[in-house]
Amino acid sequence: MQLAGRASGDAAAEEAVPRVVNQVLVRRRSVPGASDSPLAPGSRGGGERRSTFREDVSHAAAETYLVTRLAFILLRYLGVGYRWISQLLALIIYAILLMPGFIRVGYYYFFSRQVLRSVVYGDQPRNRLDLYIPRDHTKPCPVVAFVTGGAWIIGYKAWGALLGRRLAERGIIVACIDYRNFPQGTISDMVSDASEGISFICETAGTFGGDPNQIYLMGQSAGAHIAACALLEQAAIESKGEQISWSVTQIKAYFGLSGGYNIQNLVDHFHERGLYRSIFLSIMEGEKSLPRYSPEIVAKKSSPETIALLPQIVLLHGTEDYSIPFSASETFAGVLKQAGAKAKLQLYEGKTHTDVFLQDPLRGGRDKLVEDVISVIHADDSSAREKDALAPIPDRLVSEWQIKLARKISPF
């Protein structure tokens, strides 16, 4: 009887996803250009029909074309040099080594009934987000708004698929926000897109099974920087009593993973790593804009009223991160604490820029980053913590020798 009840519960959860999808379709905001995307909610009249295999393949081809086209535009902008060619080759070999895991995650991304792709949240290019919905959402679930990384150049919402899957397996909805990358947009466009995506999530959380009182903001690498900029900008606007589209008080905590928060101090570091000064300054809209888009500097200059609005800030970083040194998070945490904000720093000994976000989750087993994030989200939910203790251990997706070799070759 117990097994039968469990099976029927799983079946009910499976059937509930289309209903959640339909709620999003019917109740989401009307956005100009929403029908431009083949899988944009509302583009097929707001019905419950799931996409066909042909539509899924068509969508995958369209997304691949978009990323490829932007990559070629970028290469034309950058020119071809030895360092870029060597970095590109390293990236290709890195991806090949981890391909078994990428294929399995990709299959989940394109064919799982728990993933709702390319929900339109705004009227700008790439104003789309992906939703990862837990199987069991009989009660409202916590929601994580996630801004992916990609050096402000190659960011893409699907990069959050593995994290989305892991958190959804633990009863947390994840919304991966896409945004314009350089050269399609510059930093102000990226921050504006992220803020628009957060606003959409705050407004519609209840329609896709989320708890409007449990919304979290997270970013990785460049995404951590963009999300922090959006959060501080919104807090400043709100503290002045100006009109807002979402409130910082709706965000329970911010998680910054491997982020850089004082851009002014990182220009030379990025130049040495291959993100050349001229390109980076173009992304950041010139040298004069660096303080404005450095959350650490902004926090130092912020009023007590602005700081008081900020949620708990949790900064996570690997100590062997060479893409963005862990001192970036260390210093930002110190500045936030000095300003009176609630800030916590979590360092991962011996971990690189991609270890904590990619290689470690591909290993399977209990992932430290995922567990740390969940411990904050479920801190006040004893029932969820009991389920966490009994949660199935994720399978290994890539062989250990491949992960170790990929780690050595990684251009990040």
Q: What share of the chain is helix, strand, coil (3-state, %, to 5)?
A: 55, 15, 35
Judge whether 17 lies within some domain.
no
The confidence score (pLDDT) of residue 66 equals 66
Enclosing H/E stretch for 177: strand 173-177
Question: Which residues have a catalytic role annotated?
Answer: 221, 321, 353
Number of structural domains the chain divides into: 1
Single-letter code of the amino acid located at 26 = V
pLDDT (tens digit per residue) in 102-128: 999 999 999 999 999 999 999 988 999
Q: Does residue 24 lie in a domain region?
A: no
Return the pLDDT at 52. Answer: 65
Using an 8 Å Cβ cutoff, are 230 and 213 in contact? no
In this structure, the number of other CB atoms found within 10 A of the CB of residue 249 comes to: 11
Is residue 175 classed as helix, strand or coil in its secondary structure? strand
pTM: 0.84
Q: Is 52 exposed, middle or buried (0-12, 13-18, 19+ CB in 10 A)?
A: exposed
What is the C-alpha R_g of the chain?
21
Residue 203 lies inside a defined structural domain of this protein: yes
d(CA 356, CA 257) in angstroms, rounded, equals 9
Query: Over the stretch 327-358, which tens digit does the pLDDT of each residue have?
Result: 999 999 999 999 999 999 999 999 999 999 99
- Spans of the chain, pLDDT less than 50: 1-49
Tokens of 138: 């009989």
User: What CATH number should be reported for the domain holding residue 140?
Assistant: 3.40.50.1820
Q: Does residue 114 belong to any structural domain of this protein? A: yes
Q: Rounded to whole angstroms, how far apart are CA atoms 386 and 58?
A: 42
229 belongs to a structural domain: yes
Domain membership of residue 67 (yes or no) is no
Is 14 within a domain?
A: no
Provide the domain limits for residue 395.
Answer: 99-409
What amino acid is encoded at 248 in this protein?
A: V
- pLDDT tens digits along 136-161: 878 899 999 999 999 999 889 999 99
Q: Kindly report the number of other CB atoms within 10 A of residue 309's CB atom.
A: 21
Q: Is residue 88 part of a domain?
A: no
Cα atoms in the Cβ-side hemisphere of radius 13 Å centred on 142: 26
pLDDT tens, position by position, 287-305: 999 999 999 999 999 999 9
Q: Which one-letter amino acid corresponds to residue 184?
A: Q
